[in-house]
Amino acid sequence: MAEIARIEEAVKDYGPKKIGPITFTVGGGEIVGYLGPNGAGKSTTIRMLLGLIRPTAGTVRLNGLDPLRRHAKALEGVGYSPELPNLQSFLTPRELLRLAARLHGLGSEAIKSEVPMLLERVGLAEYGDYRIAKLSKGMIQRLGIAQAMVASPRLLILDEPTIGIDPAGVVHFRSVFRDFVKSGGTIVMSSHILSEVEQLCTSLAVIHSGRLVFRGGIQEFIVKGLGSRSVSVEVEKVDEALVGVVRAVQGVMQVTATPSGLLVEVSKDSDPRAEISKAIVGSGAKLLAIGYSRSELDDAYVRSIRGDAE
């Protein structure tokens, strides 16, 4: 996996507050979720990576280059969408994307094909000729993503990309980002929407109080952060006999009946889902669904920033 970006022992000292030292790399084809509470240093890290601010110490490399010394070259093939983008309100989305395309060096024919395609991709085709001042917050967020995707970048750096976007739009952008990576792209995205991170990202970087506390896979983070894991089981009918059958499975610590089935607490170092499924079906009960609780990433994240992780 080719290295796309690297931050090594990077520090930004603001006097009363210091961010870093931070060290992590981003490889090609990854979708990295960059997590942390407000003020933890996510935006500072992104700005150092983009060469917008100078680190007090350490090194930053983007496409193998120092983004401060070789700013234009390092940012070739990089698209950036800030949180709550401040776009030129007197322009229309079509005009803004045309301007961005010209700044990227695209010719007239390429602009004619690319701008309508981008408006369609982000769901703004029918708003292409509205003034940006008239657009909603969610539409402006969509437009910010569109301008980041001008000229087919290899790397997208997205700061809270789906904030203010409606649920249907969030689902749509999941597909947009996955397709971008399938075509050879890489994404680094900061977000507070952990359900989106869990469904979309391939790995995590977690920062707290200016220090990186984790870098790795999502499941690794969950296992590290939780004392146990919760398996949600949906069955047609729950009775005491079924509870006893599941409780007898090796690795199961506790079983609680719920309105839709069972909540099974298991050891964080085991994965007894197959054995639980076999036991339920063997008992004659009808198994409808089984899977880890979707709140696991939330729980692991909260524990990590509180210092509760084991």
Highest mean predicted confidence (pLDDT) among 52-56, 84-88, 216-220? 52-56
* The pLDDT value given to residue 307: 64
The span from the CA of 235 to the CA of 92, in Å, is: 52
Task: Write phi, then psi, for 208 (nearest 5 degrees).
Answer: -145, 130
Q: What is the DSSP letter of 65?
A: B
Could you tell me which CATH number the domain at 223-306 has?
3.30.70.100
Mean pLDDT, residues 86-108 taken together: 96
Q: Residue 185 pLDDT more than 70?
A: yes
Task: Please give the torsion angle defined by the CA atoms of residues 293, 299, 304 and 307, in that order, rounded to the nearest 10 degrees.
Answer: -130
Q: How far apart are the first and last CA of the chain?
A: 30
Q: Residue 309 pLDDT more than 80?
A: no
Name the pLDDT band for 294 (thresholds 50, 70, 90).
low
Mean pLDDT, residues 266-280 taken together: 91
For 186, how many CA atoms within 13 A lie in the half-sphere containing its CB? 20
With H, G, I as helix, E, B as strand and everything else as coil, classify residue 47: helix
Q: Do 3-77+154-216 and 223-306 show the same overall fold? A: no
CATH topology of domain 3-77+154-216: Rossmann fold (3.40.50)
Q: Angle at which helices 240-247 and 273-282 pack, to 10 degrees?
A: 140
Name the pLDDT band for 168 (thresholds 50, 70, 90).
very high
The span from the CA of 89 to the CA of 95, in Å, is: 11
Predicted TM-score of the model (pTM): 0.85
> pLDDT per residue over 6-61, tens digit each?
999 999 999 989 999 999 999 999 999 999 999 999 999 999 999 999 999 999 99
Name the pLDDT band for 305 (thresholds 50, 70, 90).
confident
Q: Residue 293 pLDDT more than 80?
A: no
Could you state, in order of their start, the residue ranges of all structural domains in the chain?
3-77+154-216, 223-306
Which is higher by pLDDT, 55 or 219?
A: 55
- Spell out where the chain has E strands: 3-13, 18-27, 31-35, 57-62, 78-81, 155-159, 186-190, 203-208, 211-216, 228-235, 252-258, 261-267, 287-292
Nearest residue to 43 (alpha-carbon basis) of 221, 189, 201: 189
